Amino acid sequence: MNLINVLILGIVEGITEFLPISSTAHLILVSRLLNIPQTDFQKFFEVFIQAGAILAVVVIYLRYVLTNKRLMTKVIASFFPTATVGFILYKIIKNIFFVSTYLMGWAFFIIGLGFLLVEYLVKNKKIKLVQSIKRLNYKTAIIIGLVQSLAVVPGASRVGVVLLAMMIMGFRRDESALYSFLLAVPTILAAAAYDLYKSRNLLTASSTNIALLAIGFLVSFVSAYFVVRWFIRYLQNKTLINFGIYRIGLAIILMLSP
């Protein structure tokens, strides 16, 4: 990879990590458009720079976390099911899920269709979005963690599946997004740390690799910082319909592409 590729991927990661459109899938697709080979370092880079986006959440919500410690115990309860699935399926995720465009397309389509269906039910008052995450219990937290584990498939979107599940359970859109952001912190940091351990030889092999990782991390942090703040405001009075349409459109393109 060259510097231009690193900057582009860092921006893409920062923009897409906290939107319900799958950052992993977009990184894979953009890498293909830029003709970046899917080497071991490239796969590691795509996971590692997610930690930069996570830092943006830490910076924005640190005070919220410190004043809502009981909620954080629910976040940890949600984290364990996801971590377990990710650990068990690590090799499958890397060698199969990350290379299957067909599977990615179906993931985009199903979650996108889910957005449209849930928003239809909300509009017709079949689902009422009235719950706050401060009233979330451990049983619900574990269910959310199990649902988030579905995001091991690129295209599903960690934020997307959590938003969908929590809205079905009656949580407000912005509250659901906030919970998905908080849950992302241990989830993605654990994934990045595990990948760092598994791929530690890539760091010792070249100082250039370390520099590229650092730049990607920083660019991801800056772009994610602005997106997180915007998306929470957006969901306070807007729906997920536009994201559903985007996902379905991209799914059709992916499934029709050779």
Q: What confidence tens digit (pLDDT) does each residue in 104-147 have?
A: 888 999 999 999 999 999 999 999 999 999 999 999 999 999 99
pTM of the model: 0.89
Please give the residue range of the domain that contains residue 245.
3-256
pLDDT at 124: 96
Q: How many domains does the chain have?
A: 1
The reported pLDDT for the residue numbered 91 is 60
Overall residue count recorded for the chain in this entry: 258
- How confident is the model at residue 203, as a pLDDT? 59
Q: Are 48 and 216 a contacting pair, CB within 8 Å?
A: yes
pLDDT, residue 258, reads: 61
Which residue numbers in the chain have pLDDT < 70? 89-99, 199-207, 258
Identify the pLDDT of residue 64.
94
